[in-house]
Copies of this chain bind each other. A is one copy, B any other.
Amino acid sequence: MTSPENPAAADSGTTRLEAFSDGVFAIAITLLVLQIRLPDAHEIETRGGLGRTLLGLWPSYVGYVVSFMVAGIMWANHHNVIRLIARVDHGLIVWNLLLLLAISFTPFPTAVMAEHLPHAGWDRHVAVAFYCGSFTLTAFFYNLLWRHVARNRHLLRPHVTDAQVRAITRAYRPGTFLYGLATATAFFSVVAALALVFGLALFFILPRRGAHT
């Protein structure tokens, strides 16, 4: 993989890192649905039928959609970084593993958040802070991964310019701070914290001027 005379083998490092990471992202995102649970027959009756019960599960749907979008966006970003990389070293494997560790954790804080969102009280704040905190951790590991790449320029494809590297560094830096801000905000206002996370996802989703990919 390190021999320059065999480009096919050289690619295979990134290929398998991508395949493995894609797998983890895809599974973490798909496991989110398991956290949505239908109450039992007795509870459905208490809540006034299935229709109302399904509507009453809105916090689970909010959690599902927000986590799906955040993790999906992280996948898209991951994809944009990896395609600039020509070579995989030990550090990249380790940082990537730590990023995947944070991504895979997502279904748990999502479930905690969804369960406590409808009930007023301090625990609701804790649950949303825990939720935003897990995204902060993910964004943090994401930045460490990129920093490793930016500091080891020989890992990048030769055509990648310094300007591109700086542009990515600039684009990813606010992530940790903004998710961290949402985490802190959650202790004061649950709505404001979720609005911030949702806004960050929406900002990504909006159409962009210029070719993104």
Contact = CB atoms under 8 A, between A and B. Distances in A.
A2 interface: yes
A135 B32 CA distance: 18
A130 interface: yes
A21 to B, nearest CB: 8
B33 A105 contact: yes
- Of the four ranges (under 10, 10 to 19, 20 to 34, 35 or more), the interface on chain A belongs to 35 or more
Interface of A: 1-3, 9, 12-13, 16, 18-20, 22-34, 36, 38, 44, 49-51, 54, 64-65, 68-69, 72-73, 75-76, 79, 83, 87-91, 93-94, 97, 100-101, 104-108, 111-112, 115-116, 122-123, 126-127, 130, 159, 204-205, 207-208, 211-213
A24 B33 CA distance: 12
B50 A127 contact: yes
A16 B13 contact: no
